[in-house]
């Protein structure tokens, strides 16, 4: 579903608060208003059929890309330099994260991580997260031409 991109939008809103930090009278309240729903949604991601990995990486990419591409106000020369350095760093980090995810998902997939499954679903009972009714076939259904 679209939950990863929605977390990216939440991260974008958080970046907007950080970019205009000096314009808020009480910026911590604005951050708290965004952090509480984000935290609750991450906790809800521990239930079956919610993909917390999509939430996490959607949030991370949204944060990095928003720092790079959102318009911002400059408050002096030092602030301008700081924001340009932030843009370069966030673009490099987002590219590195993208490459790492491609490697982990397609080149060297991690299939036997016992602890990774607890990030998506915490088994409160013995059959709470019982594979969530999904069966994965390792054989390809496509014919080669």
Residue 32 has pLDDT above 90, yes or no: yes
- Find out whether 8 and 60 touch, Cβ atoms under 8 Å: no
Residue given tokens 């205009």 in the structure block: 20
Residue 142 maps to a domain: no
Residue 140 maps to a domain: no
Residue given tokens 């970019």 in the structure block: 19
Residue 144 maps to a domain: no
pLDDT of residue 128: 76
Residue 144 has pLDDT above 60, yes or no: no
Token pair, residue 94, equals 């987002």
Residue 145 maps to a domain: no
Find the mean pLDDT for residues 102-125: 80
Taking all residues of the chain, what is their mean pLDDT, rounded to a whole number? Answer: 84
Number of structural domains the chain divides into: 1
Residue 143 maps to a domain: no
Distance in angstroms (rounded) separating the CA atoms of residues 45 and 29? 25
Which structural domain range is residue 59 located in? 3-133
Residue 64 maps to a domain: yes
pLDDT in tens, 46-94: 888 788 888 999 999 999 999 999 887 777 788 788 888 989 999 999 9
Q: Is 67 left (phi over 0), alpha (psi -120 to 50) or beta?
A: alpha
Residue 124 maps to a domain: yes
Query: 17: which residues sit within 8 A by CB, 6+ positions away?
Result: 24, 27, 30, 31, 34
pTM of full prediction above 0.85? no
Find the mean pLDDT for residues 32-43: 92
The interaxial angle of helices 52-69 and 3-19, nearest 10 deg, is: 40
Residue 23 maps to a domain: yes
């Amino acid at each position: 579903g679209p939950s990863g991109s929605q977390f990216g939008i939440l991260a974008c809103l958080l970046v907007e608060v950080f970019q205009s930090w000096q314009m808020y009278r009480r910026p911590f309240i604005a951050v708290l208003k965004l952090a509480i729903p984000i935290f609750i949604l991450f906790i809800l991601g521990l239930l079956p059929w919610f993909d917390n990995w999509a939430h996490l990486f959607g949030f991370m990419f949204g944060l990095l890309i928003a720092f790079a591409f959102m318009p911002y106000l400059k408050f002096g020369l030092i602030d301008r330099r700081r924001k340009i350095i932030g843009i370069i760093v966030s673009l490099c980090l987002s590219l590195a994260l993208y490459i790492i995810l491609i490697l982990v998902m397609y080149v060297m997939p991690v299939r036997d991580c016992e602890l990774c499954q607890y990030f998506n679903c915490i088994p409160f009972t013995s059959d709470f997260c019982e594979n969530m009714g999904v069966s994965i076939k390792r054989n390809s259904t496509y014919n080669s031409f």
